Structure 1
Amino acid sequence: SATPSPPIGPALGQRGVNIMGFVKEFNARTEKEVKGTPLPTVITVYQDKSFTFITKTPPATHFIKQAAGITSASKLPGREVAGKITRVQLREIAEKKMKDLNANDLDAATKIIEGSARAMGLNVVDA
């Protein structure tokens, strides 16, 4: 849920956008999302101070942390293991993220998500 407090309020206010209008519209459009889920949003502000916005899927790291049952990634990836995640879980995450990833097919998307998981210090297991 969006609030008029920083960082949203100041960013929109300096462009002359009706902050409460944005907050109400954003919250109405995202009410089905789980509270606390980060939603990357691209806001376009026009010269007449009107705006449009597009919400994207939550970051891959959010889904990876949920699937692996961890709260934060490894501070030393490659040396310190933060947890493990299965290839099936990676494929499910890739299916959710497919429209936001620069991948031609699901296998390529799964490899992208797998790379993110490894960079977070997770071991990828088959089962």
Structure 2
Amino acid sequence: MAKQVVGIVKLQCPGGAATPAPPVGPALGAHGVNIGLFVKQFNDKTNNPDMKGLMLPVIVTVYSDRSFEFKIKSPPAAVLIKLAAKIPAGKKQGKEVIPPDAKKSGKYKGFSITRKQVEEIARKKFNDLNARDLEHAMRIIEGTARSMGIAVVD
């Protein structure tokens, strides 16, 4: 008898440091998944220096016999851009009121990334982006950076 998909759970977990605490435990426990087994497998797969500590999107497919498979996606573009721009964790601009004008928005004004860094990020994210080629993926990443207030320089 073939396995039937009971549910698909989308989570964001820190690479190499997932715990059974919320949000992982309650989300998977509701579907009857062995939470400890998921946490162990996830941490083993993400314990390398490239993924350790980054928030990683995970899609968990749960089957009728309570078995599961999970797929780890690449980190969000904003996280990779912050790393490339060397923005310290928790560091944002002061409590100034930002007008709703889109040209003046962005929390991280004063920071910048190079086109080469944009290309590296686009290569990492290419499989998860809806882009037809690398140039298109780079434009998507540049747009994300601009919306954050980060300048893209040559």
Q: Secondary structure at the match of 1:78?
A: helix
Residue equivalent to 1:85: 113
- What does the per-residue CA deviation read over 1:57-79, in whole Å, with 9 as the maximum and x for residues that have no partner? 11111110011111456684632
> What's the secondary structure of 1:40's corresponding residue?
strand
Counterpart of 2:31, as a letter, is: R
After superposing the two structures, state which structure 1 stretch, 51-60 or 23-32, moved more.
Answer: 23-32
Aligned partner of 1:3 in structure 2 is: 19
Residue 18 of structure 1, CA deviation: 0.6
Counterpart Cα distance in 2 of 1:94 and 1:6: 31
Q: Tell me which protein shows more strand as a share of its residues.
A: 2
User: Which one is further off, 77-86 or 110-119?
Assistant: 77-86
Normalised to the residue count of structure 1, the TM-score between the two structures is 0.90
CA contact (8 A) 2:122 2:137 kept: yes
1:58 maps to which of 75, 78, 81: 75
Q: CA deviation at 1:99?
A: 1.1
RMSD after superposition: 1.8
CA distance in 2, matches of 1:123, 1:38: 24
* Residues 1-127 of structure 1: pairs in structure 2 closer than 5 A: 1-32=17-48, 33-71=50-88, 76=98, 78-79=103-104, 81-126=109-154
Unpaired runs of at least 5, structure 2:
1-16
Distance (whole Å) between structure 1 residues aligned to residue 58 and residue 51 of structure 2: 16
CA separation in 1, counterparts of 2:62 and 2:132? 31
Identity %: 53
**Superposed structure 1 runs of 4+ greater than 3 Å apart:** 71-78
Matched positions, count: 126
Letter in 2 for 1:13: G
Bigger share in helix: 1
Structure 1 residue 14, shift from structure 2 partner = 1.1
Q: Secondary structure at the match of 1:69?
A: coil
- Going from structure 1 to structure 2, the CA distance change for 1:73 and 1:47 (only over 3 Å counts) comes to farther
User: What is the TM-score normalised by the length of structure 2?
Assistant: 0.75
